[in-house]
Structure 1
Amino acid sequence: MLKAELRKKYMQKRKALSTDEAFLLSEKIFENFIEYFNPKEGQTVHIFLPILTKKEIDTQIFINYFFKHNIRVFVPKVVGDELVNIEIFKDTAFETSQWGISEPVSNKDSGEVCYDYIITPLLYCDKKGNRVGYGKGFYDGLFQSIFPETKKIGVNYFDPDECIDDVWENDVPLDYLVTSTEVLSFLSGFE
């Protein structure tokens, strides 16, 4: 299927989830992430802040865990046409953006490019790690600017059942996909 078709289909599927279903699935995705990757104190994680009205994965569960275990947390923020990466702390001040995202008040880019993990939002991911997001290309740009050893991890409610037919040259695939039932690796086939 084409990205536009998959985007529409999976936005509708996500919209059909109840708030409770979305939260329970988010918890299972979080548990699978922790069990598989076992992040450690001192590591760095780049993670998106969810648009809860669009029923994105509730990443606050992840962030709370990272703070509790002294794992550094960075979040993206769109400033103008650029994606900046801001380190957050327990006392970081937040505001709601025009897209309904709770974002840090600060626009100061951390300059960090060496993350252990980038936890990536998406609407769909196929069996090769190709993503369908909202179509802005921010994460492709981010992936090209970081150290290649960083694990690029998608989180999604849905399994990769369909192929994406219009993968572009600049699309950067994920290394892993975490769902509520499993963790898939795209580095050397499924694990």
Structure 2
Amino acid sequence: MDLSQRKQAMREQLLKVRSELGTAEYREKSDQIITRLKTEAEFKSAEVIHCYVSMNERREVNTHGLLENLVNSKKKPVVSITHFDDGTLSHRYLESMDDLKENKWGVLEPVRGEVAALDEFELVIVPMVGGDRKKNRIGYGKGFYDRFLREVSCPAIGLLFDRCLVESVPVESFDVALDKCITESKIIS
């Protein structure tokens, strides 16, 4: 089995493990992770925060409440728009959760809002299917975030559940490691 096949097998296993989280446990563990995130210096000091909009039915660590808090705070949240044709992301400031509509993958994306430049970001909060203690992440395999993370110079923090933390993620040359990973029980930095 080559590296990409090993990654795909791990991705499928982790998605299965994550999907087994019950609703109450999912909410509780997501809340614990977001609470930990808010205590981190990178979060406290950042004004412009790029954050993924979680796909809650896929049991990504829930960021909806966090984004709502950011919209109603002095911080400026930014979310992505996925461009499937060329594998890139563009970014808009989020002014209201009502500005989000589902794309073809079922991901909520902004339909309006000021365009955000990459050099304005002070923190990027990254979705993960899984990861390891070296802060390597496994995503959905399309490379959107790896390409994006190579273009920003601010810290990147990944959010994942303890059950999705593995011994070692197979790493390819284009994979970008994170600065920190946060689970419900630990901060890996």
TM-score, normalised on structure 2?
0.87
User: Offset at 1:111?
Assistant: 2.4
Paired residues, what number? Answer: 182
Cα distance change of structure 1 residues 42 and 90 upon mapping to structure 2, 3 Å threshold: farther
Q: 1:161 aligns with which of 133, 157, 166?
A: 166
Match of 1:126 in 2: 132
Match of 2:20 in 1: 16
User: Offset at 1:103?
Assistant: 1.4
Secondary structure, in 3 states, of the residue corresponding to 1:145? coil
Match of 1:25 in 2: 29
RMSD of aligned residue pairs (Cα, Å): 2.1
Identical columns (%): 24
Matches within 5 A, 1:17-96: 17-37=21-41, 39-40=43-44, 43-79=47-83, 80-81=85-86, 82-90=88-96, 93-96=99-102
8 Å contact kept, 1:124–1:158: no
Q: 2:143 aligns with which of 133, 137, 142?
A: 137
Secondary structure, in 3 states, of the residue corresponding to 1:27? helix
Task: Give the structure with the larger helix fraction.
Answer: 2
CA distance in 1, matches of 2:94, 2:107: 15
Q: 2:174 aligns with which of 170, 173, 190?
A: 170
TM-score, normalised on structure 1?
0.86
CA distance in 2, matches of 1:130, 1:42: 23
Give ranges in structure 1 of 5+ residues lacking alignment. 186-191
Give ranges in structure 2 of 5+ residues lacking alignment. none
8 Å contact kept, 1:41–1:70: no
Secondary structure, in 3 states, of the residue corresponding to 1:34? helix
8 Å contact kept, 2:50–2:123: yes
Match of 2:122 in 1: 116
